Structure 1
Amino acid sequence: MSDPRTTAATSADSLSRQRFGIAATFAVQGLLFISVTTRLPRFQDRWDLDELFITGLLLMVVLLAGVGSVLSEPGARRLGSATVLRTAFGLIAVGLALVALAPQRGVFVAGLAVYGVGLGAVDAAGNMQAVALEHRWGRTILPSFHGAWTVGGIVGTLVAIAVTGLDLTSGLLPLALVAALVTAVPLLPHAVSAVGDAPASVPLDIPWRRISLLGAAMVLFYMVDTAATTWGPVFLKSTHGAPEWLLPLATLPYLVASGLTRLLGDRSVERFGSVPLLRAGALAASLGLAVIVFSPTWPVAVLGFTVVGAAVAVIAPLSFSAAAVVAGDGVDGEARRARVDAVIARFNQFNYLGGLLGAVLTGAVGQDSLRVGFAVPMVLVLLILPLAPVFRARRV
């Protein structure tokens, strides 16, 4: 007969390894995403792309990421979110290799398309893994996972600065290898028999109205986040004439501030609650975006990006966590996990709607002046204020 204390210790050790593995996937995703977005000005120069063409590329990536997220739902139901996550990173590896080795513009675009599908599946499956582990852990841990994403983004930014003198191929190929290697980390396993029985036992009365309100908050976050990480380097270049090696500085302070907020987010939520944090963040984010819009020099703009990063960082993890709680209400065990996986895959679509607003709308409105483009999220982020009460009384 096994010792219950030994079994409990083994289970805790297994959960710790899985937490590390899931955090590693978030970190690598952040590394890869920021590595691609900080190179947009270099893509622009290499392929002679105007800002409207870049806007079209961003639209394509966002839409295909949405496709990847949709496909992750049936994939997780049949194979488990861990398998979907590993497969998605394989797609990203292929896409980045194509982008790095592209001999012509068409191959470059195809590589970004493959990357986009993989990105969406990683987003959905990674958050499926994270909310499942949070449920088993018994307290708020989503912000620290998203903090790992930010740490990866910081590393990606520093690497982008360090390899400015290298050609794009040499800078991107190692990233494809990193995407392939992360498929080996430990993740939460898939319980085939339990999930196979889940559809009959899972209630269909999911409260989509509340989930949609949570999704609206996430749209606003990704609108701001994508505008900052995608158009920030271009803003410094086109508006303030910053030298090329300084362009990642639009992203680096933003990510550092965001990462610190998220890594402290688990305890901050427990201490202050979600609603006050979200309301204060919305006001600070609008102020930071105003600093960017009216910035007289690039250092002032960088200060604005830093404020924005700190202000909005916890919105996304709290949105996923709250959506998982709402989706899993009334069921437990593997039935709960199956239902939450399905909801998270659909909820993740709000990510890409926010991406459309942040990347495409900011670029389209700001094609003559990105100051005007950044004024859009400056105003819209204030809609977080009336949405914040939806996050009240969260339960893990």
Structure 2
Amino acid sequence: MTMRWAVSALFFVNGLLVGSWAPKIPVLMERLGITEASAGVIVLGLGLGSICVMPLFGAMVARAGSASAVRLAAWLAAPSMIWISLAPTYWTVAATVVLFGGMVGGMDVAMNANAVAVERARGRAIMSSCHGFWSLGAFAGAAAGGWLIQRFGELAHAAVITAVFALVLLWALSRLLEDAPEAGAPKAPLRLPRSPLPWLIGLMALAAMIPEGAILDWAAVYLQREMGASLSVAGLGFAACAGTMAAMRFAGDGLRRRFGAVTTLRASSAVAMAGLVLAGLSSSPAPAIAGFALAGIGIANMVPIAFSAAGNVPGLAAGMGLSVVTMMGYSGILLAPGSIGFLAEHLSLGTIYLGLAALLLIPLLLSRLAATADFEPRDD
């Protein structure tokens, strides 16, 4: 049971770090005197760092186990907020954000692989609740971040987040499930699957995570610049989404057992679309924040279902389907929001959120592919 709480703690602090990034974006824009397009380059750098480093940690998971990989990534990620806050120029900020993205992405791959290993060891799904802890951490980081920065400054905020992150690592990393291959065991082949099924499941994860990334990186800017909200209120955009995501993810494993993965995914897609439409059509902060909260309810279980489905594709070696879906999904949350900065030079962010609602037709139409996530008996 301890190993289940240890990996959950890693999800929490990873979310805390990512959530703390959200209120820093408008602060960096003001400090550096840059536009949305220039900020988009920085955000794109975060995504590129993650996508470049994820395969390296995926290979490390396959060869040395997820516990070893997550230890390395987590300690390298720990001081990221401090380096970003200390970087004096646009390009040094961009470089530190690339490193931040790489280490957070590497940690993400490894901790998801460790969660799959714990699922198999316990014979029970935990993926949705693990992602619930991530959302809880992201909620804490986003909700407290704007207030801490406004009250104590950017560097003090970074120091507090780093201290909390490091303390949790000291407790959790020694209690992880050790899943390194036995000495003399054949090495896992490092090749991508040829079956189209994990790639299609990855497409569902990609479509689900693009809106999540757009809320993470641009909700605060949307509320502050297009609606005149204060920094502390602007930070509530992603915080509302992360908070409802956390609540729904803790309920997600039970919902999947009761209604099945396919039905849960369809309902989730519809609710997320409605939330994005509400946020995009809003003219004041309150209904926009409510829309982001509703979108969080819908988005909550889409990605955990996709991860479980990929991890249980029949005839596919353990972890290979998950590696494809993780890569494709996180490319959505990390790369696409950078492009939104360029679109925001020509379109309002409200219009962009309406377009993202239409994107969720993809997981709605491909929802039957999530049937492999039902590896537990249904609660009828």
| Equivalent-residue separation in structure 1 for 2:360 and 2:58 (angstroms) | 29
Q: 1:231 maps to what in 2? A: 218
Work out the CA distance in 2 between the residues paired with 1:365 and 1:378. Answer: 16
Query: What is the correspondence of 1:323-334 to structure 2 with a 5 Å cutoff?
Result: 323-326=310-313, 329-330=314-315
Number of residue equivalences: 370
Q: CA deviation at 1:330?
A: 4.8
Aligned to 1:279: 266
1:257 to 212, 222, 244: 244
Mark the CA change 1:208 to 1:323 in structure 2 (over 3 Å): closer, same or farther. Answer: same
1:148 to 105, 118, 133: 133
Superposed displacement of residue 178, structure 1: 3.3
Name which of 120, 138, 151 aligns with 1:135. 120
TM-score by length of 2: 0.91
Letter in 2 for 1:46: R
CA, structure 1 residues 194+325, in 2 after alignment: closer, same or farther (shift >3 Å)?
farther
**Cα distance, 1:384 vs. partner?**
1.6
- 1:265 & 1:17 partners in 2: Cα distance? 21
Match of 1:166 in 2: 152
Q: 2:353 and 2:336 mapped to 1: Cα distance?
A: 9
Give the Cα–Cα distance (whole angstroms) in 1 for the partners of residues 336 and 88 of structure 2. Answer: 30
Once the two structures are superposed, residues 216-271 of structure 1 have per-residue CA deviations (whole angstroms, 9 ceiling, x without a partner) of 11001111101111111111012111112211111122111111110001111000
Query: Matched residues in 2 for 1:371 and 1:199: separation?
Result: 46
* 1:347 aligned to which of 325, 340, 355: 325
* Alpha-carbon separation, structure 2, partners of 1:205 and 1:246: 44
AA partner of residue 158 (structure 2): L
One of 89, 93, 97 as aligned partner of 2:74: 89
* Structure 1: gaps spanning 5 or more residues: 1-15, 332-338
The 1-side partners of 2:266 and 2:294 are apart by 15
**Contact residue 192 and residue 320 of structure 2 kept, 8 A:** no
SS state at 1:199 partner: coil
Conservation of the 8 A alpha-carbon contact between 1:30 and 1:150 = yes
Deviating more after overlay: 144-153 vs 342-351: 342-351
- Equivalent residue in structure 1 for 2:209, among 222, 225, 230: 222
Aligned to 2:125, the other structure's residue is in SS state coil
| Aligned counterpart, 2:24 | 39
Report the Cα distance in structure 2 between the residues aligned to 1:118 and 1:340, rounded to whole angstroms. 24
Report the Cα distance in structure 1 between the residues aligned to 2:182 and 2:368, rounded to whole angstroms.
38
Partner residue of 2:229 out of 222, 242, 267: 242
Match of 1:177 in 2: 163
Give the 5 Å matches for 1:287-306: 287-306=274-293
Q: 1:51 is matched by which residue type in structure 2?
A: E
Instruction: Please give the alpha-carbon distance, in whole angstroms, between the structure 2 residues aligned to 1:309 and 1:355.
Output: 14
Q: Deviations over 1:162-192 (max 9, x none)?
A: 3122111111122223333343311111334
Aligned equivalents of 1:119 and 1:174: distance in 2?
A: 18
Rg larger in 1 or in 2? 1
User: Once the 2 structures are TM-superposed, how far is the Cα of residue 74 of structure 1 from its aligned partner?
Assistant: 2.1
Distance 1:305 1:86, change over 3 A: same
Question: Following superposition of structure 1 onto structure 2, how do residues 301-340 of structure 1 map, counting pairs within 5 Å?
Answer: 301-326=288-313, 329-330=314-315, 339-340=317-318
| Cα RMSD for the two superposed structures | 2.1
Aligned to 1:370: 349
| In structure 2, C-alpha distance between the alignment counterparts of 1:96 and 1:179, rounded to whole Å | 11
- Of all paired residues, the percent bearing the same amino acid is 26
Local SS of the residue matching 2:319: helix
SS state at 1:193 partner:
coil
The amino acid that maps onto 1:351 is G
- Gaps of at least 5 residues in structure 2 are none
**Aligned residue type for 1:69:** M
State how far apart, in whole Å, the 1-side matches of 2:89 and 2:194 are: 48
Residue 94 of structure 1: how far off its partner (Å): 3.5
Cα deviation 1:63-86 (Å, max 9, x = unaligned): 110112110122123332111111
| Aligned partners of 1:100 and 1:173 also within 8 Å | no
Separation in structure 2 between the aligned mates of residue 372 and residue 361 of structure 1, nearest angstrom: 14
Residue in structure 2 matching 1:77, options 47, 56, 62: 62
Structure 1 pair 127/350, CA: closer, same or farther in 2 (3 Å)? Answer: same
Find the counterpart in structure 2 of residue 191 from structure 1: 180
Q: 1:85 to 1:199 in 2, by over 3 A?
A: closer
Contact 1:31 1:149 in 2 (8 A): yes
Is the CA contact (8 Å cut-off) linking 2:66 and 2:180 kept in structure 1?
no
CA 1:283–1:170: 2 relative to 1, 3 Å: same
